[in-house]
Amino acid sequence: MTPPLAIAVARADAEAAARLEPYLTASERRACAAQRVAARRAQSACARVAAKWLRLELAAGRGAPLVALDAASLEAHPRAAYLACAVTGPCGRRPRFEDGAFALSLSHAGELAAAAVTTARAVGVDVERVEARAASFADEHFTPREREGLARGAAVGAPRAALETLLWSAKEALYKTGALALPARFSFRDIDVAFPPGGARLAQPSVRSFALGARGGQFFGRAVLTGAFALVAVVPVPPVAALG
C-alpha cells in the first residue's frame, strides 16, 4: 500500500504572506520575520501555512494528493487549529511539527511555495524553476547513468531543461526525506535516480505518480511538471515483511 502523500502549492509573495499571517503562531511569525531576504520571509510563511493546512486535512481523513491552496480552502479549519500545530524553523534544518506528529517537508521557488505532509515516517518535497543549466551542472551533480538518460531524452527531442530540472528536483526531494543512507561527505552524484524506459516523455507537462529506488531504499512519489516549474515529492516505502 502506498503511504499517504499530500502536497499543496501556494502563492508566496508579500501580499499572500500578509494574508496568511493570522494562521501562524507568534513564534512562527518571529522566525519567518528574522529571515534576511524579504522574498524568503514570504516563502517560509506561506509554505508553513500550506503544511499546516495539509496536516489538518489528513487529520480530518482527507488528503488530496495535490492542491493549489487558496483562501477559501483555508477556511475549512478554524484558525485555532492552525495555531495549535506550529512548524519549526526556518533555521536551515529539516522542519517538523513541534508536537512531533506527522512528517512534513517544505520548498520554495520564486513566488511559489510547496509543502508535503504524510503519516509515513518521512517526506521530501522540492520545487524548482525549469531553466537551462550549464553543462558543468550535469557533470557536477548527475551520475553517468543519469547523464546517459538525459542524452537519450535530448536525442529524441525532449527539452533538456525540463528533464534536468525534474531530475534535480527528485534528488533534492530524496535528500530532504533524510531517509537515504548517505556518507557524511556526499555529493548529489551519490543519489542515482534511474530514468524509466521512454524517460523522454517525462519532459511533457504532466502530473505523475511513480515508484523509485535510491541507495537501497524504496520510495513512492509524485512529480508535477509545468512549463515553468518542476515539483517532486517522495515518501519512503517500508520494506515488505518477508513471508513465511
Ligand X SMILES: CC(C)(COP(=O)(O)OP(=O)(O)OC[C@H]1O[C@@H](n2cnc3c(N)ncnc32)[C@H](O)[C@@H]1OP(=O)(O)O)[C@@H](O)C(=O)NCCC(=O)NCCS
Binding site for ligand X (CB under 6 A): 44, 47, 89-90, 92-95, 105-108, 126, 172, 175-176, 178, 187-188
Minimum CB separation of residue 37 from ligand X in Å reads 11
Minimum CB separation of residue 121 from ligand X in Å reads 14
Among residues 146 and 172, whose Cβ is nearest to ligand X? 172
Minimum CB separation of residue 175 from ligand X in Å reads 6
190 phi, psi to nearest 5 deg: -80, -5
Q: Which three cell numbers stand for residue 33?
A: 520575520
Q: Which three cell numbers stand for residue 147?
A: 547523464
Among residues 94 and 147, whose Cβ is nearest to ligand X? 94
Among residues 68 and 76, whose Cβ is nearest to ligand X? 68
Q: Which three cell numbers stand for residue 101?
A: 506528529
Among residues 159 and 178, whose Cβ is nearest to ligand X? 178
Among residues 57 and 126, whose Cβ is nearest to ligand X? 126
> Which DSSP symbol is given to 205?
S
Minimum CB separation of residue 24 from ligand X in Å reads 12
Minimum CB separation of residue 125 from ligand X in Å reads 8
Give the amino acid at 59. A
The CA distance from 127 to 29, in Å, is 23
Q: Are 208 and 223 in contact (CB under 8 A)?
A: yes
The CA distance from 212 to 155, in Å, is 24
Residues 6+ apart with CB under 8 A from 25: 83, 86
Among residues 51 and 150, whose Cβ is nearest to ligand X? 51
Give the amino acid at 8. A
Please report which helix (H) or strand (E) contains residue 38, including its range.
helix 38-59
The CA distance from 10 to 104, in Å, is 15
Minimum CB separation of residue 89 from ligand X in Å reads 4
Q: Are 99 and 43 in contact (CB under 8 A)?
A: no
- Cβ atoms within 10 Å of 75's Cβ, excluding its own: 9
Among residues 105 and 118, whose Cβ is nearest to ligand X? 105
Minimum CB separation of residue 232 from ligand X in Å reads 10
